[in-house]
Amino acid sequence: MSTFSLDPGPDQTAVRDWLHGFAADVIRPAAAEWDEREETPWPIIQEAAKIGIYSLDFYAQQYFDPSGVGIPIAMEELFWGDAGIGLAIVGTTLAAVAVLANGTDEQIGTWAPQMFGTPDDVKVAAFCSSEPDAGSDVSALRTRAVYDEAKDEWVLNGTKTWATNGGIADVHVVVATVDPALGARGQASFVVPPGTPGLSQGQKFKKHGIRASHTAEVVVDGVRVPGHCLLGGKEKLDERLARARERAAGAGGAKGKNAAMATFEASRPAVGAQAVGIARAAYEVALDYAKTRVQFGRPIIDNQGVAFQLADMKTRIDAARLLVWRASWMAATNQPFHNAEGSMSKLYAGETAKWVTSQAMQILGGNGFTREYPVERMHRDSAIYTIFEGTSEIQRLVISRAISGMPIR
């Protein structure tokens, strides 16, 4: 087992510096333009692919780094550059994590490379879980998957929403209900290959923040996928459903692994790291501004009111990073989250990003409210981190259930 360390070591330090250079030289100069355009920044993604940042190999190396901090370091640096472009670059990894968390070795080897494409022919992937009537309540999913035994095919019908890269992706991973009686435990994940008839993009959302990242509805209307597109395979699914039915018949209710939650559990510390990157970026802008902005004959940082704000901002950012690194290390060393440490990291980092960016706007005063300075965009981008991949309220619910052992509602 790897020992928890706050020193990332020479390899991860080199990766951090490399990513920081890309974020500073390529992402930041383009951030305002793509935020205004509200379009996927394909040229930036391709640039990232050419130097190896947007690739399966790169993310696999970080994901399997024994220290556990490879992914958090990568996420923090890219999102320090810009959250919208950062999410456009890393959005595919959520679908990849879904395959890693639920798929067989053969499925991982087949689908994960197709999600990224090549530097000359870049592709993206989408993970489709939320629905118009099922966001935090994953048990309410209405998208159905029915098995056609004669053809060994699954037939999918339903509408997904809030899908990053939804509709523009080559590969979609769709969470669907196979046994409605079992609620969240009766769900499974399916890969929808490129060009499959019946899958289409619904409305594209015009968002408050992270506007360079494509978010849209995905409609699956009579979509047929081969049996081998069920992540984990049918035998494994049948066994899991049988166990869930047995538990449902008993006093304990249906418990067990849920396809969507397995993905979110694996990704929450990484999302927390993204929030840390946004918060750090806003803090640095505010610190520089406070040291150079002169009012009443002296820099405004000479005032305790401003200096103490910055002290609190820095303290919360470092605390958030520590929670993210702890959860990531625990996941890498296969330690169970007995106290919902993954949710703790995402909760605190998300709330920190929202708070720190708000404080940064306040320190910049009227300038902070204009698009001439980046903290306005950072503040808009931060807002989603208390909402997506589990709202702050849901994280608190998960944590309170973990620490109390009670079915808190």
C-alpha span between 218 and 145 (Å, rounded): 15
Distance between CA atoms of 56 and 110, rounded to whole angstroms?
12
Question: Which residue, chain included where needed, has tokens 């870049």?
Answer: 122
Of all helices (H) and strands (E), which one includes residue 360? helix 341-364
Bridge partners, 348 (sequence order): none
283 with 360: CB under 8 angstroms?
Answer: yes
Distance, CA of 102 to CA of 240 (rounded, Å): 12
Strand partners, 126: 172
- 341 catalytically annotated: no
Which of 149, 265, 389, 393 is an active site residue? 389
Euclidean distance between CA atoms 252 and 315, whole angstroms: 43
Q: Where are the beta strands (DSSP E) in 102-229?
A: 117-118, 121-122, 125-128, 144-148, 153-164, 171-177, 187-192, 199-204, 215-226
The number of beta carbons lying within 10 Å of the beta carbon of residue 239 is 12
- 342/266 Cα distance (integer angstroms): 8
Distances (CA, A) of 132 to 142, 162, 217, 353: 9, 9, 9, 27
Burial, 402: exposed, middle or buried (Cβ in 10 Å; 0-12, 13-18, 19+)? Answer: middle
- How far apart CA 348 and CA 316 sit, in angstroms, is 9
Looking at the annotation, which residues are catalytic? 389
